[in-house]
Chains A and B, each alone.
Chain A
Amino acid sequence: MAYKFFPHTDEDIRSMLNTCGAKSIDDLYSDVPSELVFKEDYDLPEAMSEIEIRQYFDYLGAQNTKLTCFMGAGCYDHYSPSVVNDIVRRSEFLTSYTPYQAEISQGTLQYIFEYQSMMAELTGMEVSNASMYDGCTATAEAMMMAVANAKKRNKVLISETVNPIVIRVVETYAKFHGVVVEKIAAEGGVTSRADFEAKIAKDDVAGVIVATPNFYGILEDYTGWADLCHEHKALLIMNCVASALGVIKTPAEWGADVAVGDGQSLGIPMNFGGPYVGFLCTSKKLIRKMPGRIVGATKDADGKRTFVLTLQAREQHIRREKATSNICSNESLMALYVTIYMSLMGKKGLREVNELGYSGAHYLAEKLVKSGKFEMAFPDKPFLNEFAVKTTQDIDMLQTIGALEGFNVGLKIADDTMLICVTEQRTKDEIDDLADLLIDPLPEEAENEENNNETV
Chain B
Amino acid sequence: MNNVYYGKLIFELSKEGRCGYSLPENECADYKMQALPANLMRAEAPALPEVDELTVVRHYTNMSNNNFGVDTGFYPLGSCTMKYNPKINEDMAAHPDFTGLHPLQPMGTVDGALEVYYNLQMSLAELAGMSEFTLNPFAGAHGELTGLMIIRSYHMSRGDEKRTKIIVPDSAHGTNPASAAVCGLNVVVVKSRPDGTVDVEDLKPLLDDTIAGMMMTNPNTLGIFEHNIAEIAKLVHEAGGLMYYDGANLNPMLGKVRPGDIGFDVMHINLHKTFSTPHGGGGPGSGPVGVRAGLEQFLPNPRVMKDDMDHFYVENNDKSLGFISGFLGNFAVMMRAYTYILTLGYNNIKNVGPLATLNANYIKESLKDCYELPIGGVCKHEFVFDGLKDKSTGVTTLDVAKRLLDYGFHSPTIYFPLLFHEALMIEPTENESKETLDGFIEVMKTIAREAKEDPEMVKSAPHNTPVRRLDDTQAALHPIVTYRELQAEAL
Contacts and interface: CB of A to CB of B under 8 A. Distances in A.
A159 to B, nearest CB: 16
A170 to B, nearest CB: 9
Contacts of A253: 42-43
A66 B357 CA distance: 44
26 contacts: A31-B224, A45-B346, A47-B343, A47-B344, A53-B339, A95-B72, A97-B410, A103-B402, A106-B466, A107-B64, A108-B282, A136-B325, A246-B45, A249-B39, A249-B42, A273-B331, A274-B333, A316-B177, A327-B141, A329-B285, A336-B281, A340-B56, A345-B20, A347-B50, A359-B26, A427-B27
B319 to A, nearest CB: 14
A28 B257 contact: no
B36 A346 contact: no
A59 B98 CA distance: 12
Range of interface residues on A (Cβ < 8 Å): 35 or more
A374 to B, nearest CB: 17
B101 A103 contact: no
Nearest to A31: B225
Nearest to A349: B21
A180 interface: no
A178 B183 CA distance: 8
A287 B257 contact: no
B7 A110 contact: yes
Contacts of B27: 359-360, 427-428
B205 to A, nearest CB: 20
B15 to A, nearest CB: 11
Contacts of B410: 97, 101, 104
B49 A352 contact: no
B103 to A, nearest CB: 3
Given A36-B257, A271-B101, A274-B325, A16 B282 contact: no
A130 B281 CA distance: 11
A272 B67 CA distance: 30
Lowest 9 CB-CB distances: which A-B pairs, in order?
A: A61-B97, A273-B327, A47-B345, A333-B280, A107-B67, A273-B103, A275-B284, A63-B112, A95-B69
A331 interface: yes
B322 A172 contact: yes
B129 interface: yes
Interface stretch (A117-125, A195-203, A229-237): A117-125
A362 B67 contact: no
Contacts of B411: 101
Contacts of A29: 225, 256, 354, 357, 378
A346 B187 contact: no
Given A300-B471, A359-B31, 15 more contacts: A5-B86, A6-B431, A20-B358, A38-B258, A47-B347, A69-B100, A107-B67, A114-B9, A117-B11, A137-B325, A176-B184, A273-B328, A343-B59, A347-B50, A362-B28
In this complex, the member of B129, B142, B324, B469 whose beta carbon has the largest number of chain A beta carbons within 10 angstroms is B324
Interface in A1-44: 1, 3, 5-8, 12-13, 15-17, 19-22, 25, 27-33, 35-38, 41-44
A360 B26 CA distance: 8
User: Chain B's interface: helix, strand, loop or mixed, by majority?
Assistant: loop
Interface in B129-170: 129, 138-142, 144-145, 148-149, 152
A62 B112 contact: yes
Given A93-B280, A247-B41, A38 B257 contact: yes
A77 interface: yes
Interface string B73-102: 001010010101110101110111111111
Interface in B24-53: 24, 26-33, 36-37, 39-43, 45-51, 53
Contact of B283 (A330, A411, A431): A330
Given A38-B257, A333-B283, A347-B46, A299 B471 contact: yes
Contacts of B14: 346
Interface in B304-341: 321-333, 335, 339, 341
B20 to A, nearest CB: 4
Given A329-B138, A352-B23, A248 B230 contact: no
A273 B112 contact: no
A259 interface: no
Interface string A305-336: 11010111101111111110111111111101
A342 B479 contact: no
A48 B335 CA distance: 15
A443 interface: no
Contact of B149 (A21, A172, A300): A172
B210 interface: no
A348 interface: yes
B419 interface: no
B278 interface: yes
A173 B152 CA distance: 13
Contact of A63 (B50, B60, B111, B359): B111
A79 B5 CA distance: 33
Contact of A269 (B47, B100, B141, B327): B100
B227 A33 contact: yes
B199 interface: no
A298 B69 contact: no
